[in-house]
Structure 1
């Protein structure tokens, strides 16, 4: 399954999961399991990350396999998830609590028969939850729409359900009764729906609901939409939501499945295109205006002349606002947004002095967290004209050139410094 911003939802996840489980056990070998029972979980997490990273780097050809359709290897995906774990100590605390409970019941269970498999499963569960948190955050940053880890899990369930429906339709002769239950009619010949079902975008929401309902009769266990679990409660009674999610998966898979085919087709016409290009430039030299590349070169020459003698620092100062314009346009903000927002800051404020080493997007994220998207104290230059509020966390992450989890981590660190300074000031006054 492919969705914008996600990297862990494809078939390569199985190899990533197995590699993380295997390397986690290797990193804890030789009596290092006590790390999981350490009261100082911050130190134990740092030690685990260091150990498992070294083992991962030595995993050999297994890590070189592709982990998804975007070109990320199994090793790259595994290492990225380990780094994310270090930024989310709460997930590590949950693992340690589960291990401690098992240890209190059975003692050092990892030394017992089957104990390593039990410990590996706990690591597998840890990373399975973590991958949905990471992918849901990245989906939000890519789309600007809310997405919880549970919703990411629901996307994957629907993708799996579609695969099962497609399998049953393909083998309709062997599964005639169940296909009939899914379609809501008796099947005598090949159903036309089986021929038309070419992708998940062609799958109907009612088929998913009936497939889940049919599992208890034909598989012996309730389907995911017919258990007592509340995980899919919002989908059980909403065919519209199921249809929209199926359509979204299908549309993005169709978009991202193009690969390089369009570019290969363009390559066949490259010679003719270049001939036209040079012809246009030749004609433009003889006409009233220079060609497009010459215009850009002239602008760059003017920039270089303006910066001559000032060194690289002067050139960087002139090009930084140009970069700000590009970033602002990517997130639908006014040109030179970062420059104007920076000039509007209150130069002498203690908050600004405390956050002097933080980037402007991090400072705005702090205000967004503490004061909300709108406050009378905000300068107009800080606000997004489209909403009249501060930019969203997704916009600020793009402006800062970091992922959403990284921006949150830097924001929280800045808030902690502000709180510590405010507390220190109160103590001095008393």
Structure 2
């Protein structure tokens, strides 16, 4: 889960937790733990613990766990662990709460930390300390990033809803094996593949009512009450507030979409690492295009190159028997019956009826991208632009834009215009980008 300002809510947290737990156990072996029972010594013990745990973390920096990816912003598990350790120095109340928990356990079981079999108890208390500190740090950073109020409990609520969505997605993916529970979540008996299974591509497509019903079903299908239906008061108000649930999930989905282009599992894992590579490729290709244009006395600072002079276009077609190459002219207009189908699809998507016809005509015949991707359909090429430059860019002709949004059509709209599925559109788009990358490297 990603939210503005947060660093510890993603997939790498489990490894951060484990690394901090292991290094804390190493640090405690060097300390006199009885001093934790004396509140007057808490400050000195925190300093000693920080030094010893930091040394253990530094020793783990080059291990597989330390170098593992901690979040989608490029921070490693080691970096996140060390940062949270130093946050403990800045917020010693969490250390005091840990010391109080250790003192309470000591009152029941004596010097339990001396028993190797009790290391799990110590690790559990360390985990609790860092888990609460994590949510406080992320809540504070969320406030700084957005200017909106946030508490550790709210961060916890975001995480619960994100977890709920992911568990619902798993049930939907295996709907045949979980037909009764999926039917209860959707509020109707199933008669074949539910359309919601195909429609829910992210948390933005998950309805608040499904989360409430999912929580209701857990006791019947999972053996224990769901988070909205336990005796705990933490989420008690949410089960009667679908609007609040929907708003929280929309915030998660909007930020994830904005920050990471999370339109496919492949993109989620590769975009962060490859963004700089794509931009480097784009500017190199643009530079080559500009150098060629400057030789002809022209320069255009956009991915769509200026049309070539007619003499050059004709020369480019000399080697082709019919001269009908992508460089020589724009795409030929489709026959009238296909135009009618295109208008029908455009109208169904709330686009101008002649959208495809006008967008096709707005392509530059001399565009470097069009030369490389001449075999791809117009919707695929527009999906490429959307991926590389975003849905709105000054270089886009007005005819390419959806008048309702002022941006390129969405991937769903482009897939419908091309009469293909979303996964197929993404696959062809990614293949087209790979060809651009390969052509720019030559």
**TM-score interval (norm. to shorter):** 0.5 to 0.7
Instruction: Show CA shifts across 1:152-204 (max 9, x none).
Output: 00000001000110000110111010001000000121100001111111100
Displacement of 1:236 in angstroms is: 2.1
Task: Tell me, yes or no, if structure 1 residue 204 matches structure 2 residue 207.
Answer: yes
Deviates most, 208-217 or 258-267: 258-267
Matched, 1:42 2:27: no
Determine helix, strand or coil for the equivalent of 1:233.
coil
How many residue pairs get aligned? The number is: 284
Q: How does 1:24-423 map to 2 (within 5 A)?
A: 24-30=24-30, 32-39=32-39, 40-59=41-60, 60-61=62-63, 62-112=65-115, 114-258=117-261, 259=271, 260-261=274-275, 264=278, 267-268=281-282, 270-273=284-287, 276=290
Indicate how the Cα distance of structure 1 residues 6 and 220 shifts in structure 2: closer, same or farther if over 3 A, else same. Answer: same
Which runs of 5 or more residues in structure 2 are unaligned?
A: 262-270, 299-442
Whole-Å separation in 2 of the counterparts to 1:73 and 1:35: 33
- Deviation of residue 266 (structure 1)? 7.2
Could you tell me which runs of 5 or more consecutive residues in structure 1 were left unpaired when the two chains were aligned: 285-430
- Shift of the 109–267 alpha-carbon distance from structure 1 to 2, 3 Å rule, reads same
CA–CA separation in structure 2 for the residues paired with 1:101 and 1:265: 56
Secondary structure of 1:137's partner? helix
Does the 8 A contact of 1:38 with 1:44 survive in 2? Answer: no
CA distance in 2, matches of 1:170, 1:146: 36
Residue in 2 aligned with 1:357?
Answer: none
Per the TM alignment, residue 129 of structure 1 is displaced from its structure 2 partner at its CA by 0.4
Q: SS at 2:97's partner residue?
A: helix
CA contact (8 A) 2:15 2:77 kept: yes
Deviations 1:353-397 (Å, cap 9, x if unpaired)? xxxxxxxxxxxxxxxxxxxxxxxxxxxxxxxxxxxxxxxxxxxxx
Structure 1 SS opposite 2:281: helix
The offset of 1:263, in angstroms, is 6.6
| C-alpha separation in 1, matches of 2:67 and 2:204 | 32
Deviation of 1:276 after TM superposition, in Å, equals 4.2
1:119-168 deviation digits (Å, cap 9, x = unpaired) = 10000000000000000111111111111000000000001000110000
Counterparts of 1:263 and 1:234, CA distance in 2: 46
Aligned partners of 1:80 and 1:156: how far apart in 2?
A: 21
CA pair 31-248 structure 1, distance change in 2 beyond 3 A: closer
TM-superposed CA distance for 1:257, in Å, is 1.7
Indicate the RMSD between aligned Cα atoms, in angstroms.
2.3
Q: Is the 8 A contact 1:35 1:48 kept in 2?
A: no
Question: What is aligned with 1:18?
Answer: 18
Shift of the 141–172 alpha-carbon distance from structure 1 to 2, 3 Å rule, reads same
Distance 1:93 1:262 in 2: 43
SS of the residue aligned with 2:8? coil
Q: Spell out, residue by residue over 1:198-228, the C-alpha distance to the aligned partner (whole angstroms, 9 max, x if none).
A: 1111100000000001101111111000111
- Using the size of structure 2 for normalisation, the TM-score is 0.61
- CA distance in 2 between partners of 1:142 and 1:30 (Å): 39
Secondary structure of the residue aligned to 2:237 is: helix
1-structure distance, mates of 2:126, 2:202: 34
Superposition deviation, residue 32 in structure 1? 2.9
What SS is found at the alignment partner of 1:232? coil
